[in-house]
Structure 1
């Protein structure tokens, strides 16, 4: 193999691999300490063995050579070098110039810090997984969507609720338009997932029980729906128009979450929302 001129990114990758290798002790990965070691950490051949790759190939990678690296190999390297979530993402950035696909892994609960952020927001706020399973919320969200803790966990999902919760149909001013956008946004998130098995399982289940969902899903529309307006009609209150914004968040364990915040639109909506959420002792 002929050497090619190096690049800053490949140099960074080579240096990153060498420093991570030096940090891992043989005992950390179930290897015997062996004879005296001239350098700290694992040897190159040990990393190559753990990552199931040839020693020469791994050596070239540490030398900053211009070689192709597949995602499965990077995953094996991340495990062999015991990288945390941030380091794993950095490895993918250096090796492929793009972030690693995040696995679909929903935590059972969110951190106390994240829950405090939700509780500090005076208007509805939710945390959901990449598959739109609702994991946490504030009290204001229950004003719109009821006591979410009473819903079965399998059905505590934004897509499922849109089609299977009758209250959503009366709450939304234009349910069909909102439902179509929801399906299109969910399809886009499913396509971006490292493993879309659970996305497809939810879509299959909904298609069996909701002809409307099956029809919208079959249209194969996609939309980027990270922000927009929600027009809600609340009994005894009237129409409130909310701006909603969904932000990506990665928790300390590297799990991808979605944070959604509602803020009332200026004017009558803001006045009605203040009356509903801020002047009552809920």
Structure 2
């Protein structure tokens, strides 16, 4: 019981010392108490309000290791506070933090090169680290870009290329921010996300608007269209998959959505193979 009471006091204190602006939320109306509300902490940590409320109240609620990690990142706990949280919640030290692996496995690259559809690999902060030739033809060539300019989230949100249709751009932006917020709640490198969030707050009013919402998206699949002069528009259905035994890497595949798109993609693939041979 003493542990539960201390856990409750600790969480309330950590929540009280954070202002909405500290976590990218608007200040909003005047608040009766300092700090974040329970529902704000729950949304940022990817938890239900009820579940977080029970946990903060010291009830017999068991949280998984990933959930405690997300909560610690949301509350901006330092290394000592993180260890203290695990000791109170699970009566054991926290797991060791692992380094994000940005090396593409030879088998993963071989798989992408063997596919007849565009494919790329991103790490948890959305930086593109691997791709095949069809990605270069259908979307963009990442090879000349330094790592700092290969962040897919910033490319999609900030590039003028995607703003020609305001309605579509707004819908895409809301979906991307909801997924980015989900990934942020699970990252082992919050400082990298914090830098991206600060940059986006300064450059994109749309990002600021959607970041203030509580919408989250735990999966990544949708339809997008590649405009291919001389071939025609190709409609893709894209989805993502975790790369086994490589934490943080995500393989994104772009499959043609209809028969016309499949035929146009086949033409693009054929011209790509010819270009590689010559």
TM-score by length of 2: 0.59
Contact 1:104 1:193 in 2 (8 A): no
Cα deviation digits, residues 15-44 of structure 1 (max 9, x gap):
xxxxxxxxxxxxxxxxxxxxxxxxxxxxxx
Structure 2 residue corresponding to 1:241, chosen from 226, 232, 235: 235
Residue 149 of structure 1 aligns with which residue?
A: 143
Distance 1:178 1:221 in 2: 13
Structure 1 residue corresponding to 2:199, chosen from 205, 208, 212: 205
Contact 1:163 1:179 in 2 (8 A): yes
Contact 2:120 2:251 in 1 (8 A): yes
- SS state at 1:234 partner: coil
Contact 1:140 1:277 in 2 (8 A): yes
Moved over 4 A (4+): 68-71, 100-104, 170-173
C-alpha distance 198-231 of structure 1, shift in aligned 2 (>3 A): same
Distance 1:105 1:166 in 2: 34
Distance 2:251 2:132 in 1: 12
Cα deviation digits, residues 85-144 of structure 1 (max 9, x gap):
xxxxxxxxxxx8xxx989574334312111111111111100010111111000100113
- Higher RCO (CA 8 Å, separation ≥ 6 residues): 2
C-alpha distance 263-156 of structure 1, shift in aligned 2 (>3 A): same
Contact 2:100 2:247 in 1 (8 A): yes
Structure 1 residue corresponding to 2:177, chosen from 160, 183, 190: 183
Residue 167 of structure 1 aligns with which residue?
A: 161
Structure showing greater Rg? 1
The answer to whether the aligner puts 1:260 opposite 2:227 as a matched pair is no
Distance 2:255 2:64 in 1: 43
Alignment size in residue pairs: 188
Give the Å deviation of 1:221.
2.0
Residue 127 of structure 1 aligns with which residue?
A: 121
Cα deviation digits, residues 137-180 of structure 1 (max 9, x gap):
00100113322122231121111111222334459992321222
- SS state at 1:206 partner: helix
Q: CA RMSD in A?
A: 3.2
Cα deviation digits, residues 50-74 of structure 1 (max 9, x gap):
xxxxxxxxxxxxxxxxxx9996xxx
Give the Å deviation of 1:277.
1.9
Structure 2, unmatched stretches of 5+, are 1-61, 66-89
